[in-house]
Amino acid sequence: MPPGTPSAGGGGIAKPLPPQWFLRHGGNAEMRWDTLAGTGLHTPNERFFVRNHTRTPRIDQETWRLRVHGSGLRGPGAVFSLAELRALPAVTLDAVLECAGNGRRYWSEQQGTPAPGTAWGLGGVGMAAWRGVPLGELLERAGLGPAAVDVLPGGLDPEYRAAGRNLGRVRRPLPIGKALDDVLVAYEMNGQPLPPDHGGPARLVVPGWVGVASIKWLGSVEVADRPLESPWTTAYYRLFGPGQPAGGGPALTRQTVKSAFELAPGAVLAAGRTHRLRGRSWSGAAAVRAVEVSTDGGRDWYPAELLDPPSRYGWRRWAVDWRPAEPGRYGLRARATDLLGRTQPAEAPFNREGYLFDAVVVHPVTVV
């Protein structure tokens, strides 16, 4: 079968995409928050959102190799097979993976400033236990030199074409400081071999950063003694618009703070009964410290009960009881704050591409 042949899920995604679990956006699949309740802290692999620039390639694990090369190394570099990766000391890390465009539809729905691109609700996010080798370990083994400045991980999926131009394979540079800090070359997701749609046999996991940094189907890592760029740091994944420099802001790095209810938009709840409202909150910069919920349009806020310990890169589940007395339409709000004091604003500052929507999302429910 040729690489990327669509199978069960269609649209270039290999896994099945049952409509009760996913909302489809072309070749991307958004996780539905309302059916997440009871699935545990980690997003099950079969329910994890998929964001592909082209399509999921088929890669033979036996012949797959990761090549580390470039001017920032002392010698010719190194090539690793999957068996060699698996033989190295491994670490497991809970980390949220979130698309920079997650929540994009709320720019138009909530703030009246529509943004182009995939209109994700809040389901362009998931949290997994990633197991693999620290990227720094591989760079050291490949002969990392003192002059290294940037690394450029590249994917093995088909070349990406946009507006009539071939931009080449998906690749996005990282500064050497981040690469050596906490980045993983992951080959397992929630205890399973990394599934094809999520980058198998191996992907980068760049904790806390916008999802595009976590290059799937990793085939090469260039280590350079000079700053590197790619269309994913120059044309895409930067902020353009008011408050940004004329040519655009710096390449996006850390994710913002967000919260979501495990509830369908427009859910119907009975008046005069106590409902346990559940959700999850996360931040790219630090563990979530507190979550507050408002059921009266943002006038009063009540602390939610946090159900998991703080996690540097993971999310925290929470719950709050609500007993609506009167039938009617309500807008539920959840607002998280992280350990660095970053909190969700009532309104997100505009940017042209609609990245990093971090405002409190109004979740409509009907009480009958």
Give the binding site for ligand MTE (CB under 6 A). Answer: 48-53, 97, 99, 155, 157, 170, 198-199, 211-212, 214-217
Specify whether the CB–CB gap between 204 and 152 falls below 8 A.
Answer: no
Cβ proximity to ligand MTE: between 178 and 198 the closer is: 198
Cβ proximity to ligand MTE: between 65 and 273 the closer is: 65
Cβ proximity to ligand MTE: between 80 and 120 the closer is: 120
Quote the least distance from Cβ 74 to ligand MTE, whole Å. 28
Cβ proximity to ligand MTE: between 28 and 337 the closer is: 28
- Neighbouring C-beta atoms of residue 287, cutoff 10 Å: 18
Quote the least distance from Cβ 124 to ligand MTE, whole Å. 7
CA-to-CA distance for 257 and 242, rounded, in angstroms? Answer: 21
Tokens of 73: 């190394």
Give the DSSP letter of residue 198. Answer: G
Quote the least distance from Cβ 100 to ligand MTE, whole Å. 7
CA-to-CA distance for 78 and 148, rounded, in angstroms? Answer: 16
Specify whether the CB–CB gap between 334 and 278 falls below 8 A.
Answer: no
* Geometric angle at alpha carbon 244, from 239 and 249, rounded to 5°: 50
Cβ proximity to ligand MTE: between 50 and 367 the closer is: 50
**Closest chain position to ligand MTE (CB):** 155
Quote the least distance from Cβ 79 to ligand MTE, whole Å. 19
Q: Length of the chain in residues, anyone?
A: 368
CA-to-CA distance for 43 and 35, rounded, in angstroms? Answer: 11
Cβ proximity to ligand MTE: between 80 and 318 the closer is: 80
Contact partners, residue 99, CB within 8 Å, separation at least 6 = 49, 51, 118, 120, 124, 125, 210, 211, 212
